[in-house]
Amino acid sequence: MTARHALRLLVFLGSSLAASGAQPPLALAHPGEELAGNRTVVWTPLFQAAWDELHRGLGVSVKVDPPNSLMDKMDGFAWEAATVMPASGWKVWAGPASAEFTAKANAEAAKLTGQADPPFSAPAGNQPGGLVALALLKRNLLFAKVLHLSLAEPLDFQSADGAKLPVRFFGVRGALSGKQRGFIRILAYDGGPSFALQIAGQEDEAVVLYLPKAEETMADACGKLREWRAARLPGDFGSAQDPWMHEQDDLRVPKLKLQSKKDFQPQLASLRYFPAQAVPWQLGKAEQRVDFELTEKGAQLRVVVEHNLDPFGEPPPPPPMVPRKFVFDRPFFVFLWRDKADWPYFGAWIGDDSALEKFR
């Protein structure tokens, strides 16, 4: 058997408690991969950040055996981690695949997250000279203005396979929608079955929601949203093309809670040859764990919701405004996105009900 060096890639994202569901969410290593439209799917460039750091000292591979299209996508992904990833709460450690290096990363991760449980496991059975990349992201993106949890009625969510389920949701409508002006920006709206908007966070981040007309890749969705975020709807106050939420607008978003675990190693197992390296390298481990939760307060690490206000029972006054509906009652995208960044730092396609909370 040909001698080769081993690379080890472990990415961990922590955001919340795990959700239960018959089908756990899938995960992508690259946003250009095809979605399984009837499943919930997640993607984060933190995996890419770890990949980049892992290969930084090796240079550009001169041969991949057998050819691997996903590796080509990973190698060719163009982005700026410093502007895409949050200003704080994340880090990548790259170095020798040793218990000492892993212990050092775990100690620094504890300071970063304030949690004592080590996220990374020490390498086992790697050949001498192997490398490791460890990455961690922990964010608590709170909305600049809290939305409201519906206590009295469900949202009927229709999955891609046609199944319907009454689920918990949050949002705003009627007179209270006007108070979200300046906080909820409408990115795309034509009165039809597709629309997009973003909800401002307390820092330079936002939750971006996009309900497409038909299934598309994460990369295609990000491309459209990149253009819409750079432009602005041209309408006047209260019109159908008003770029901000106004009175009588109706926003309804399902509460989300999901957990994803993925081993990408089988997809990235090809041998990689680098200049000035006597033997090829092979990825021995490539794991990612994601926990994500979205509530009326934002994308949070851990949350206990106690809300006494039910905005859906208050009839709105009759101002002369065009009422718009932004109801996410079928598969949609959700992204966590910094201002002026080319890519989000987290994305999910909600294609089924595995991440939704059944209304009881």
| Per-residue pLDDT reduced to its tens digit, 181-240 | 999 999 999 888 899 999 999 889 999 999 999 889 999 999 999 999 999 999 999 999
> What six digits make up the tokens of 190?
């034509």
Check if CATH label 2.30.39.10 holds for domain 142-256+294-350.
yes
| CA separation for the pair 273, 64 (Å, rounded) | 6
Number of CB atoms found within 10 A of residue 40's CB: 28
Return the pLDDT at 312.
35
Whether residue 66 has a cis bond before it, omega within 30° of 0: yes
- The secondary structure of 131-172 as a DSSP string is EEEEEEEE--EEBSS--EE-SS--EEEE-TTS-EEEE-EEEE
| Per-residue pLDDT reduced to its tens digit, 112-126 | 888 888 888 877 555
Number of CB atoms found within 10 A of residue 144's CB: 16
- List CB contacts of 134: < 8 A, sequence separation 6 or more: 10, 11, 12, 50, 92, 93, 94, 102, 105, 109, 119, 120
Give the model's confidence band at 245: pLDDT under 50 very low, under 70 low, under 90 confident, else very high: very high
Do residues 258 and 355 touch, judged by C-beta distance below 8 A?
Answer: yes
**Percent of the chain whose predicted confidence (pLDDT) is above 90:** 57
Do residues 17 and 53 touch, judged by C-beta distance below 8 A?
Answer: no
Classify strands 250-254 and 325-327 as parallel, antiparallel or unpaired.
Answer: parallel
**Percent of the chain whose predicted confidence (pLDDT) is above 70:** 87
> What six digits make up the tokens of 101?
């290096």
Domain with CATH 2.30.39.10 in the chain: 142-256+294-350
For residue 254, is pLDDT > 90? yes
| Per-residue pLDDT reduced to its tens digit, 125-179 | 555 678 888 999 888 999 999 999 999 999 999 988 888 999 999 999 999 999 9
| CA separation for the pair 12, 258 (Å, rounded) | 14
Give the model's confidence band at 1: pLDDT under 50 very low, under 70 low, under 90 confident, else very high: very low
* Ramachandran category for residue 114: left, alpha or beta (phi over 0 → left; psi -120 to 50 → alpha): left
Return the pLDDT at 144.
95
Return the pLDDT at 162.
85
